Amino acid sequence: MVKFEPTWESLRNYRCPEWFRDAKFGIWAHWGPQSVPMAGDWYARNMYIEGHPQYEHHVKVYGHPSKFGYKDIVQLWKAERFDPEALIDLYKSCGAKYFVSMGVHHDNFDLWNSKHHRWNAVNFGPKRDIVGEWARAARAAGLRFGVSEHLARSWSWFNTNKGCDKIGPYAGVPYDGNDPRYADFYFEPHEDTSPHYPKNPPEKWMRLWQRRIMDLIDQYDPDLLYTDGGVPFGRIGLELIAYFYNRNIERRGGKLEAVYTLKNIPRDHGEYREGIAVLDVERGMVGDISPLPWQMDTCIGGWFYDTRRRYKTPEQVIRILVDVVSKNGNLLLNIPQRPDGTLDEQAEWTVREIGRWLEVNGEAIYGTRPWRRFGEGPSAEPRAERISEREEMEFTCEDFRFTAKGDVIYAIALGRPDRERGGWLIRSLAGERAEEVSLLGFGEVVWEMRPEGLWVACPDELPCDYAWSIRIKLSSEGGGR
């Protein structure tokens, strides 16, 4: 296979591997020292913003950030009950086909035995190679392994640590990020505090980002690499992508099996061009079938463990999964871990409930491809190109999502018909000819081809609590893409 060059033109030769297209569902451990306060995402930034709720939490629980800073939070992260093998076994049993470990967040703390940055989980905090332990457990269980990196924006995002209070008893007292002894963690003094990619980062920072992520690739050989934004730092970012693809080809006998995910976010989040990688959409969905494979990433709650945050229900997660898969996508789902490495009871229950649904309906998900339309019903009406997951949709017995394998179509019903209706009417199949119709987890059902579509009787006892998969074998054309 021809090697990739660090140019847009060369990287457009990328093709998404079939393993990713078949997998459909992955679990993500978005976990690190920012879980310690159990107060949500972006703690390492917001604890240095006077008046922010996380600043107030920090002062109340730990003390003022001039005396007790993020470097001290890192030391409180012990991961003392972290059991990657047990968690991976749980995630595999719930139907995940790939697993993604966080490698480094915006907090500039590497979760592996980093060769280029002393502030890492082997030297501080748990003193364990978190990425390495996840990688070994995932591969031993037969899952594809990925890592996420959120490092590019750290130069500006984390620079709130250089501030000081404007009012109150600590007014003018510098936060601990001003201490030159910790400049390799908190960065040298500069003015950029943007939460996005830095505006004019120095060359040495961009090259350090590149070396650290290349080290992550070299040590752990991930099948998937997730960057939290577009291509960072122009040519330097393109060099990283080409390096990842070429190393993957070398290690797999000349075959490209790598998945690199990027985001297409306007305004200071790096550049994105279609076809060089797999598009990742954070907490959102595309409006129709994408011609290229893509990934949605979301969480059952907050990105980092948050005692105040409510979780999605299993039904909400399943409906997201079904919608994403019908549009040629995968779902990457974060399950928040406590700072000690464990899941709370509700998170574990949610994971197991997802697994129970997939045990019945997995045939309609794994290895499928989009049909000629993604769905029908009120929830499938034309909408925006991108849809936020916050847009709650009401589902009726007229709402379906479609997937396909060869001459088999799966119509996943998102609502249950009432007794008066007695069944589902799939209007998209008007004019088709069906040979066999069954309900996954139940078996053959009563059905009838009508001029207006395929009518399928709803059994009194259904095999699961929501999202029922009707399997239709066609006698004419009707396969997937």
For the chain, the domains span 8-36+77-153+194-364, 375-474
d(CA 233, CA 421) in angstroms, rounded, equals 58
Quick one: average pLDDT of 383-397?
Answer: 69
The CA-CA-CA angle for residues 443, 370, 1, to 5°, reads 125
> Taking Cα atoms as reference points, which of 170, 177, 125 lies closest to residue 155?
177
pLDDT score at 418: 87
> 296 near 281, Cβ under 8 Å?
yes
> 111 near 103, Cβ under 8 Å?
yes
pLDDT score at 2: 78
d(CA 330, CA 26) in angstroms, rounded, equals 8
d(CA 114, CA 121) in angstroms, rounded, equals 9
Residue 339: other Cβ atoms inside 10 A:
25
The label of the residue with tokens 């396969």 reads 479
Q: Say if residue 480's pLDDT is above 90.
A: no
Quick one: average pLDDT of 61-90?
Answer: 99
Binning pLDDT at 50, 70 and 90, where does residue 88 land?
very high
Strand ranges (E), 191-311: 224-227, 259-262, 278-282, 284-286, 294-299
In this structure, what is the dihedral angle of CA atoms 224, 227, 229, 231, given to the nearest 10 degrees? -90
Binning pLDDT at 50, 70 and 90, where does residue 411 land?
very high
pLDDT score at 479: 44
Q: Say if residue 391's pLDDT is above 60.
A: no
- For the domain with range 375-474, which CATH number is right: 2.60.40.1180, 3.90.226.10, 3.20.20.140, 3.30.70.2740? 2.60.40.1180
Q: Say if residue 191's pLDDT is above 50.
A: yes
Q: Say if residue 481's pLDDT is above 90.
A: no
Three-state DSSP class for 385? coil
d(CA 356, CA 365) in angstroms, rounded, equals 14
Quick one: average pLDDT of 28-54?
Answer: 98
Q: Say if residue 50's pLDDT is above 80.
A: yes
pLDDT score at 420: 84
Binning pLDDT at 50, 70 and 90, where does residue 384 land?
low
Q: Cα dist. 39→56, 99, 303, 393 in Å? A: 11, 25, 10, 29
d(CA 112, CA 114) in angstroms, rounded, equals 5
pTM over 0.75: yes
pLDDT score at 230: 98
Q: Is pLDDT larger for residue 382 or for residue 411?
A: 411
Instruction: Indicate the fold that domain 8-36+77-153+194-364 takes in CATH.
Output: TIM Barrel (3.20.20)
Q: Say if residue 478's pLDDT is above 70.
A: no
> Taking Cα atoms as reference points, which of 404, 373, 397 lies closest to residue 289?
373
pLDDT score at 386: 62
Q: Say if residue 395's pLDDT is above 70.
A: yes
